[in-house]
A and B are shown apart, each in its own frame.
Chain A
Amino acid sequence: MTTTSITLAETPLLALVLRRADDALILGHRLSEWCGHGPMLEEDIALANIALDCVGQARSLYDYAATLDGRGLTEDDLAYRRDVGQYRNCLLVEQPNGDFAATIVRQVLASAFLDPYWRAMTASADPTLAAIAAKAEKETAYHLRHSAEWLIRLGDGTPESHERTQAALDDLWPYSGELMESDDAEAELVRAGIAVDPAAIRPAFDATVAMVLREATLTAPAAPWRQGGGRVGRHSEHLGFILADLQYLQRAHPGATW
């Protein structure tokens, strides 16, 4: 049997675009799992909205990645035909939704990075990335505001909500560092003015998180250890199940049009 899987020759720019695209798709996928099961109707709508923004960002980025690849692939080839080892998202976004507190903590950590990141990327020397960033930063500003407001409500709500939220923070905190990691290939793009150094976003991330946690009466864990590996395709056990769901129809009917 022939495989439907593809592997890309990742130039530094293509690798960067895939990282951002995979972060957006997997986070959007996780958020979309909430649809119809949220704690209130308004939140069903809000989480679906954030998920839609993420899927939309992923589509623009995959489209660009397919152009860079140059073999005539489509956004769907990139989303539906790469295996776990080819996915470049950080581990944070593939973590399960858990309870609403875990979803909100994951979102705050992701958005506290992504929002300033995309704002900085609007100055990219790559016009396509600058255009994608200009659209994304408007969306991420809302994602950060919405999730941070919830984190404050949950942290400074009832004893139960405080306890659940602190536990979620303790669980997810070790995954936040990976957002700000980069490698030599990315450093090359930074020098060329195409990419922003993720490490340079650290002060903005720290300031946002510190402010929100203070208002939420939550404590940042002192965990010195850090999880990573997603950028080179070493994922948690969760991603395989996400892709099994996401890719099932495309894999079962190779070459079909939907």
Chain B
Amino acid sequence: MYTQALNAQEVHGRPVVDPAEEARGARFQARIDAEDRIEPNDWMPEGYRRTLTRQISQHAHSEIVGMLPEGNWITRAPSLKRKAALLAKVQDEAGHGLYLYSAAETLGTSREEMFEQLLSGRAKYSSIFNYPTLTWADIGAIGWLVDGAAIMNQIPLCRCSYGPYARAMIRVCKEESFHQRQGYEIMLTLCRGTPEQKAMAQDALNRWWWPCLMMFGPPDSESQHSDQSAKWKIKRFTNDELRQKFVDATVPQGRYLGLTFPDPELAFDEASGHWRFGTIDWEEFKQVLAGNGPCNRQRMKQRRDAHAAGAWVREAAMAHAQKRARRAAEAAALPEAA
């Protein structure tokens, strides 16, 4: 579903002393500047590899953890059409997770290792999935707002300098756009429905709006990554630029629904052509990132439980594959012995 703007702290661009290394670094940057795509077997600076591995795996983890809040409504979807669409959407997210883990594996870290980082709590996933889905309208709000925010982040990633990530994002973005329209259509149906349904939609917007603005990550004044990531053409817009684009695109959509945004300061600024919004509660964001959101523990427990409950299945699959390979080898050896 979505990649969180980078939050983990890391030092990039350590001074390079070896002249050969320096020359390679310069050639690498020249390729980036020429909009060339970097491929898995190409030389790349360790910092580039680390940054991308972290970002892609964090994105993959977000897809996988993101299955949980929406999965919460699959069995209760209010019509067969909605049930099928939601199931297909959550399945798409599993698919996105799979491509993204595969893209990250091309950088030299295995899916098992990345899974281990998620389950041990060392790797992050998008903070948005630590909020609960309390009503059916939350499924609409997630599609409309969370996927909408994700698309803002992800469209520029289709031009990311790392080839496997950029290519994965093209397909992911197509599916996300579809999810976003589907979510908006759920909201539209609710807003045109009974007063109870409209109230459900308003309540969902009230709860999801601010956390969605936090999805773009800390304000530019506090973000430590953007410079190097921009130079490497991993990130092409700053957190605040993307957040503003999202607000500008989303506010008219919400007004068309007849809903009120939970921000008394939200106002259109004629001079700049942008919607100006109130102050984000960054303390809440920090708390959710630190593991203190409403559902952090529950989400991680569900992931760990699923992984632990599946251990015997994965072992059985491996054991069976080994048995088959051994039997095939024995069968092949027989005629020679005869």
Cα–Cα distance between A58 and B90 once the two chains are bound (Å): 20
Contact of A257 among B64, B193, B305, B323 (CB under 8 A): B193
Docked-complex contact B313 and A161, CB < 8 angstroms: yes
Docked-complex contact A246 and B98, CB < 8 angstroms: no
Question: Is A106 engaged at the interface, CB distance under 8 Å to the other chain?
Answer: no
Contact of B80 among A44, A75, A152 (CB under 8 A): A75
Question: What B residues does A153 contact at CB under 8 A?
Answer: 316-317, 320-321
Cα–Cα distance between A31 and B91 once the two chains are bound (Å): 12
Docked-complex contact A45 and B91, CB < 8 angstroms: yes
Interface string of B32-66 (1 = CB under 8 A from A): 00000000000000000000000000000000100
Docked-complex contact B320 and A37, CB < 8 angstroms: no
Q: B80: shortest Cβ distance to chain A, in Å?
A: 5
Question: Is B156 engaged at the interface, CB distance under 8 Å to the other chain?
Answer: no
Q: A106: shortest Cβ distance to chain B, in Å?
A: 15
Cα–Cα distance between A99 and B76 once the two chains are bound (Å): 22
Bin the interface of chain B by size. 35 or more
Nearest B residue (CB) for A99: B309
Interface string of A57-76 (1 = CB under 8 A from B): 01100100000000000011
Interface string of A218-256 (1 = CB under 8 A from B): 000000000000000000000000100110111001001
Q: A83: shortest Cβ distance to chain B, in Å?
A: 17
Question: What A residues does B229 contact at CB under 8 A?
Answer: none
Docked-complex contact B316 and A55, CB < 8 angstroms: no
Cα–Cα distance between A156 and B194 once the two chains are bound (Å): 55
Q: A80: shortest Cβ distance to chain B, in Å?
A: 8
Question: What B residues does A100 contact at CB under 8 A?
Answer: 309-310, 313
Question: What B residues does A58 contact at CB under 8 A?
Answer: 80
Question: What B residues does A79 contact at CB under 8 A?
Answer: 80
Question: Is A82 engaged at the interface, CB distance under 8 Å to the other chain?
Answer: no
Question: What B residues does A258 contact at CB under 8 A?
Answer: 78-79, 82, 136, 189-190, 193
Docked-complex contact B312 and A250, CB < 8 angstroms: no
Cα–Cα distance between A156 and B83 once the two chains are bound (Å): 35
Docked-complex contact B98 and A55, CB < 8 angstroms: no
Contact of A35 among B87, B312, B321 (CB under 8 A): B87
Question: Is B84 engaged at the interface, CB distance under 8 Å to the other chain?
Answer: yes
Given contact pairs A29-B75, A250-B78, A160 touches B312 in the complex (Cβ within 8 A): yes
Cα–Cα distance between A169 and B285 once the two chains are bound (Å): 49
Docked-complex contact B196 and A157, CB < 8 angstroms: no
Contact of B91 among A35, A156, A257 (CB under 8 A): A35
Cα–Cα distance between A256 and B192 once the two chains are bound (Å): 10
